[in-house]
Chains A and B, each alone.
Chain A
Amino acid sequence: MNSTRWRLLAVSLSFMGWLASCSLLGGEASPEPLFSVPATFPQPTYDLSKNPITSDGVALGKQLFFDGILSRDGSISCGECHNQSHAFTHHGHGFSHGIDNQEGTRNAPPLINLAWQDSFFWDGGVFDLDLFSIAPIENPLEMDDKIGNVLQKLRTSKEYPKLFKKAYGTEEITTERFLKALSQFMLTLVSANSKYDQFLAGKAQLTADETAGLQLFKDKGCAKCHSGALFTDHSFRSNGLLPEYTGDLGRYRITENDADKNKFKVPTLRNIEVTYPYMHDARFFNLEAVLKFYAEGVKETGSLDPLLKQNGRLGIPMTADEQQKIIAFLKTLTDQEFLTNPRFAAP
């Protein structure tokens, strides 16, 4: 009885091993899907039916993303200011240097989980990912070209007509095809495998400090704006920053509604450890400065979010120790697999 059991187990184990090795050797393991909705995420906002994601579409989008041909003088690609190792922000830059070394006016936001975002830029001025890429390409401080001219350059290039044919069936290069290929690549930039995600799936343990930080993150109200699996509610809020550095009034620029002055989009906190510096104007270089600001630096901006002035006190009361623990938790949102996945790497 006992020995039969052991034999059965041995047989089934070796069978499993054979299956595994076979699939590995045969290369028939189902490839990582191009795009999938992580179990803890809601349904995407982006309408995938209008732009079905294909491997050739993503490959084209990736090629475009990392190609300086999208800029006036060929010097600036999307990847110039959106580096994978920093969750597609500009590694350590407050403001990115665009064409002719000109400096932009806002901190480059991360490109992660864009399929769940319903507006783009710190002020939400663009409402469709497919329309997004026109802005940096035509911004005189960034890539300073014209979409029409970029398409013309692609049409006369050696390789792009072939890549468009692979992705779309014909060599025709249109605005729609161009923008949707870029979207396809950007949509695949899904980050959902941080230590915290592994903890939720029962595959990792949080340290005592991280656990305490997670609890504080909820108790102190951080999670009210940085909510859900995406760590943002996509709203526009004033978090107590006066426009003293760049004069940027945020959402007001789009709505021209006084109540929106000093409001900016709540950013995701996923991979926050590597997306420094912080805030739209990059005024804080590390997370310690950010937490300290929320504890003692919040100012009345005229539109300050009510969550940041509870009981007649500005900001969120937090001790230095509590701030450290929240930071420990925030660092569990770093997704090493995403930051190093060769699928997203510059060619």
Chain B
Amino acid sequence: MKKSFLFSALMALTVSFIFVSCTKEEEIGPNDKNSLSIEFDNYVGGEKLVLGSKSYKNSLGEDFTVSTLNYFVSNFSLKKADGTEVKFPNQYFLIRQADTKTLTVTLPDVPAGDYTSMSYMIGVDSLKSISDVAQRTGVLDPASYGTDNMYWSWNSGYIFFKMEGISSAATTATKLFQFHIGGFGGRTSVTANNLRTVTTSFGTTTAQVRKNIAPTVHVVTDVLQTFSQGTSIAKTSVMMNPAASKPFADGYAKMFKVEHIHNDKM
């Protein structure tokens, strides 16, 4: 009795193992691919970011509202557990809190597989930053920004990260603070480089790209982290010089965390 139970249990395990491995092999064809989306959900501390009059407080005790939050993300790369990497060059996205449809970016044609981590750049890499105007289309087109400008015409380069709002700590007459962070390292001279690469592990879960699964990686940010490396509104209310923006860039490098991943079948 005992023996036969053990036997059938073993049999069941073996069968299920074969079944699992079988379906796995069946699931991933060599040419299978799908898209993978990354949703950027901007928070301030534990609170969802609301543009406008809602007031927040940074670690220095400075109150602030956020009227504008924009940033470029680019150069995505996905890594599998075995270390193989899939890169997505020449794809640039501009996250604009004021425009919901920009908050989700989609990487097309991701080879099917189980991905365990992701990295991407905050900003526009130096090669693209010095490229011919022919290559500056879509979100990189200087004509595309209207009054919410993300390009410096006087010091050729993109504004990688822009945050503006009102703070009683601001030293400007209108109490407006403006953080415009750019600086790709310079073309003819070495200048400040505020490009930052964020690498986040998916922890115990994976993003499972299949021909019938297009995962969504949910990234939750914490805007308070931008103040974590020495930025103070009272000290610098208008930040537009790349060299002086380094602490802020070090801060935004820390604000992105993967919260969870949806691997829903289509």
Q: Is A255 in contact with B154, judged by CB distance below 8 angstroms?
A: no
Q: Is A175 in contact with B136, judged by CB distance below 8 angstroms?
A: yes
Give B192's nearest chain A residue, CB to CB: A256
Q: Is B17 an interface residue (CB 8 A)?
A: no
> Which listed residue (B130, B133, B151, B189) contacts A257, Cβ 8 A?
B189
Number of A-B contacts (CB under 8 A): 81
| Shortest Cβ distance from residue B187 to the other chain A in the assembled complex, whole angstroms | 5
Q: A interface vs B, CB < 8 Å?
A: 50, 118-119, 121, 124-128, 130-131, 134-135, 137-139, 146-151, 174-176, 179-180, 251, 253-257, 260
Q: Is A124 in contact with B143, judged by CB distance below 8 angstroms?
A: no
> Which listed residue (B141, B142, B188) contacts A124, Cβ 8 A?
B188
Q: Is A119 in contact with B188, judged by CB distance below 8 angstroms?
A: yes
Q: B interface vs A, CB < 8 Å?
A: 130, 132-134, 136, 141-147, 149, 151, 153-156, 186-192, 241-244
| Shortest Cβ distance from residue B28 to the other chain A in the assembled complex, whole angstroms | 41
Whole-angstrom CA separation of A185 from B170 in the bound complex: 45
Give B152's nearest chain A residue, CB to CB: A125
| Shortest Cβ distance from residue A49 to the other chain B in the assembled complex, whole angstroms | 10
Whole-angstrom CA separation of A314 from B149 in the bound complex: 45
Whole-angstrom CA separation of A260 from B190 in the bound complex: 12
| Shortest Cβ distance from residue B148 to the other chain A in the assembled complex, whole angstroms | 10
Q: A50-B134, A127-B187, A127-B188 are in contact. List 9 more A-B contacts (CB 8 A).
A: A125-B154, A135-B154, A146-B145, A148-B145, A149-B146, A175-B133, A255-B189, A256-B241, A257-B189
Tell me which residues across on chain A come within 8 A of B191, comparing CB atoms: 254-257
| Shortest Cβ distance from residue A233 to the other chain B in the assembled complex, whole angstroms | 13
Q: Is A176 in contact with B154, judged by CB distance below 8 angstroms?
A: no
Q: Is A135 in contact with B153, judged by CB distance below 8 angstroms?
A: yes
Give A118's nearest chain B residue, CB to CB: B188
A149, A150, A175, A257: which has the most chain B beta carbons within 10 Å?
A175
> Which listed residue (B133, B146, B243) contacts A128, Cβ 8 A?
B133
> Which listed residue (A126, A147, A256, A257) contacts B154, Cβ 8 A?
A126
Tell me which residues across on chain A come within 8 A of B147, comparing CB atoms: 146
Q: Is A148 in contact with B188, judged by CB distance below 8 angstroms?
A: no
Q: Is A127 in contact with B243, judged by CB distance below 8 angstroms?
A: no
B146, B153, B241: which has the most chain A beta carbons within 10 Å?
B153
Whole-angstrom CA separation of A50 from B132 in the bound complex: 8
Tell me which residues across on chain A come within 8 A of B155, comparing CB atoms: 125-126, 253-254
Whole-angstrom CA separation of A254 from B154 in the bound complex: 9
| Shortest Cβ distance from residue A156 to the other chain B in the assembled complex, whole angstroms | 15
> Which listed residue (A119, A125, A147) contacts B142, Cβ 8 A?
A147
Q: Can you name 5 A-B residue pairings with CB atoms under 8 Å? A: A128-B156, A146-B143, A146-B146, A147-B143, A254-B155
Whole-angstrom CA separation of A119 from B155 in the bound complex: 11
| Interface of B: prevailing SS | loop
Q: Is A130 in contact with B132, judged by CB distance below 8 angstroms?
A: yes
Tell me which residues across on chain B come within 8 A of A174, comparing CB atoms: 143
Q: Is B146 in contact with A180, judged by CB distance below 8 angstroms?
A: no
Q: Indicate whether A131 sits within 8 Å of B188 (C-beta atoms), given known contacts A146-B145, A148-B143, A176-B136.
A: no
Whole-angstrom CA separation of A98 from B134 in the bound complex: 29
Whole-angstrom CA separation of A131 from B136 in the bound complex: 11
Q: Is B144 in contact with A148, judged by CB distance below 8 angstroms?
A: yes
Q: Is A126 in contact with B153, judged by CB distance below 8 angstroms?
A: yes
Whole-angstrom CA separation of A175 from B141 in the bound complex: 7
Whole-angstrom CA separation of A255 from B186 in the bound complex: 8
Whole-angstrom CA separation of A307 from B193 in the bound complex: 32
Tell me which residues across on chain B come within 8 A of A138, comparing CB atoms: 149, 153
| Shortest Cβ distance from residue A320 to the other chain B in the assembled complex, whole angstroms | 39
Whole-angstrom CA separation of A288 from B91 in the bound complex: 56
Tell me which residues across on chain B come within 8 A of A50, comparing CB atoms: 132, 134
Whole-angstrom CA separation of A138 from B150 in the bound complex: 12
Q: Indicate whether A134 sits within 8 Å of B151 (C-beta atoms), given known contacts A175-B133, A175-B143.
A: yes
Q: Is A134 in contact with B153, judged by CB distance below 8 angstroms?
A: yes
| Shortest Cβ distance from residue B100 to the other chain A in the assembled complex, whole angstroms | 21
Whole-angstrom CA separation of A121 from B132 in the bound complex: 19
Give A134's nearest chain B residue, CB to CB: B153
Tell me which residues across on chain B come within 8 A of A119, comparing CB atoms: 188
Give A147's nearest chain B residue, CB to CB: B143
Q: Is B156 in contact with A175, judged by CB distance below 8 angstroms?
A: no
Q: Is B242 in contact with A256, judged by CB distance below 8 angstroms?
A: yes
Give A179's nearest chain B residue, CB to CB: B133
Tell me which residues across on chain A come within 8 A of B241, comparing CB atoms: 256
Give A256's nearest chain B residue, CB to CB: B243
Q: Is B142 in contact with A175, judged by CB distance below 8 angstroms?
A: yes
Tell me which residues across on chain B come within 8 A of A148, comparing CB atoms: 143-146
Tell me which residues across on chain A come within 8 A of B130, comparing CB atoms: 127-128
Whole-angstrom CA separation of A40 from B87 in the bound complex: 48
| Shortest Cβ distance from residue A153 to the other chain B in the assembled complex, whole angstroms | 12
Tell me which residues across on chain A come within 8 A of B190, comparing CB atoms: 255, 257
Whole-angstrom CA separation of A134 from B145 in the bound complex: 13
The 10 closest A-B pairs by CB, nearest first: A256-B243, A135-B153, A148-B143, A134-B153, A147-B143, A125-B155, A175-B143, A130-B133, A255-B189, A127-B187
Tell me which residues across on chain B come within 8 A of A149, comparing CB atoms: 146
Tell me which residues across on chain A come within 8 A of B136, comparing CB atoms: 175-176
